[in-house]
Amino acid sequence: MEQPQVDYRFILANERTFLAWMRTALGLVAGGVALDQFVAIDQRSWAIGVIAVVTVFLGAAVALIGIYRWHNADVAMHEGVSIPRSNVLLITGVGFTALALIIALALIFLR
């Protein structure tokens, strides 16, 4: 069976979306490292270290999610089928919300 011809615009859009995931992942990793390295030594606490590590791990997770979504969309486009639905965006949104709440609580209680 012959593979359907994929419009290059869809391939490029998929690549742009992938790069947005990678940009977000890189920002999270850089933010976690910056949080750990640039907080004054006398102001550091265990909570800052935990938040920094969680932020870096969230960045790694976002990178993996981006790879997963790019691959699934690419395969679906080349096979001529619908892109599979996923709860990944919901899980990612919950992760970002949890991280933001943890950082907010740390800012309030660690002063």
pLDDT at 4 > cutoff 70: no
The span from the CA of 25 to the CA of 27, in Å, is 5
Containing domain of residue 49, as a range? 8-109
Which letter does DSSP use for residue 87 in this model? Answer: S
Q: Is residue 77 part of a domain?
A: yes
pTM over 0.75: yes
The total domain count for the chain is 1
Q: Is residue 2 part of a domain?
A: no
Q: Is residue 3 part of a domain?
A: no
Q: Is residue 52 part of a domain?
A: yes
Q: Is residue 32 part of a domain?
A: yes
- 21 CB neighbour count, 10 Å cutoff: 19
Q: Is residue 78 part of a domain?
A: yes
Condensed to tens digits (0 to 9), the pLDDT of residues 37-69 reads 887 666 667 888 888 998 999 999 999 999 999
Predicted pLDDT of residue 101: 92
